[in-house]
Amino acid sequence: MRAAIYHGERDVRVEDVDRPEIEHPGDALVRVTHTAICGSDLWPYRGQSDRDTPSRIGHEPMGIVEEVGDDVRSVQPGDRVFAPFVVSCGECEFCRRGLHTSCVNGDGWGGDNGGAQGEYVRAPHADGTLVRIPDRYADDEDALQAALPLTDVMGTGHHAAVSAGVEAGDTCVVVGDGAVGLCGVLAARRLGASRIVAVGHHADRLDLAEEFGATDTVLGGEGGVDDEAERVRELTHGGAEHVLECVGAAGAMETAVGAARPGGTVGYVGVPHGMGDGLDLFPFFGDNVTLSGGVAPVRAYADELLADVLGGTLDPSPIFTKTVSLADIAEGYRAMDEREAIKVLVEP
């Protein structure tokens, strides 16, 4: 089969590899029909994080079950499924608490199960990991594209909103206008926030944030305001009680805590990077700002978010601004790297 292989900085190639096989009774083999390139895939791509070379890449698979092991009960061949960015058993202490990212039997994609940017992937612990899409929607392309972000970014944006404590009628701030930040806006609106201030560095992405429900936008970076947090404090008369940090960079965390109202909460989901000497706790200390969140257990949210996607009230698919075939995945990486595309959908 064909699969994307990471060979080093700005070097992703599609090559022939062995097709994965059922290895354990709980495994399922999935023929991937839709997958995506993630902002986190760009770090190794840009040489900003270490990754083995060569190695399989991708962690957002959706497809058709091809074959299942003897113990698999929840899916059968022919079912349309997707999987979150980590494997989880669904049965351990942490899975039962909705913290699937800490599953004691957990694993990532890549390595020997395949990486999700390829024609097939082996899903370990299929009963815990895979989310089945009802047959009625199994070939509805619009529904599938709207569900694909539940593999990662939509669940992650939702985790930011939940961690920040967003409830109906609240004012909140979303820091970041990448795919996760935009999904954070959708999540905050879905939870009933009445005012959503989106902070980003790209005017076109902030336009999409408005389409997704942002009531105010703050453009920072080149050509924008110098102090994003100050602008948010002006707009909100002293900051918001709920701030979603959806980037992970040190500057974004600074903006987030600066935009929080005294006593407020920052829900953070951006993978921390560039923190240098570590996170400065004094801004949190001085105003009793709570820091909550971490890596998003998207499997815990998949069923409720999928219900809204299939019900037509939640549609994150506009974040996919470009679609490529697997053969052209290098072009997809280039477009995301150069910020031509917010997020790229890949069709093996």
Residues that bind Zn ion (CB under 5 A): 38, 88-89, 92, 95, 103, 152
As measured in angstroms, the least distance from the Cβ of 163 to Zn ion is 18
Rounded Cα distance, 174 and 202, in Å: 14
As measured in angstroms, the least distance from the Cβ of 36 to Zn ion is 7
Structure tokens, 329:
């995945």
Structure tokens, 44:
């190794």
Structure tokens, 53:
């070379």
As measured in angstroms, the least distance from the Cβ of 104 to Zn ion is 6
- Cβ-based nearer residue to Zn ion, 109 or 120: 109
The answer to whether the beta carbons of residues 231 and 175 sit under 8 Å apart is no
- Cβ-based nearer residue to Zn ion, 103 or 240: 103
- Cβ-based nearer residue to Zn ion, 38 or 314: 38
As measured in angstroms, the least distance from the Cβ of 158 to Zn ion is 14
The candidate with the shortest Cα–Cα distance to 174, out of 255, 285, 231, 290, is 255
The answer to whether the beta carbons of residues 210 and 190 sit under 8 Å apart is no
Cis, peptide link before residue 54, omega less than 30° from 0: yes
Sheet of strand 195-200: strand arrangement: 216-219, 195-200, 171-175, 240-245, 260-268, 290-293
- Cβ-based nearer residue to Zn ion, 92 or 121: 92
- Cβ-based nearer residue to Zn ion, 107 or 167: 107
Number of residues written out for the chain? 348
As measured in angstroms, the least distance from the Cβ of 125 to Zn ion is 8
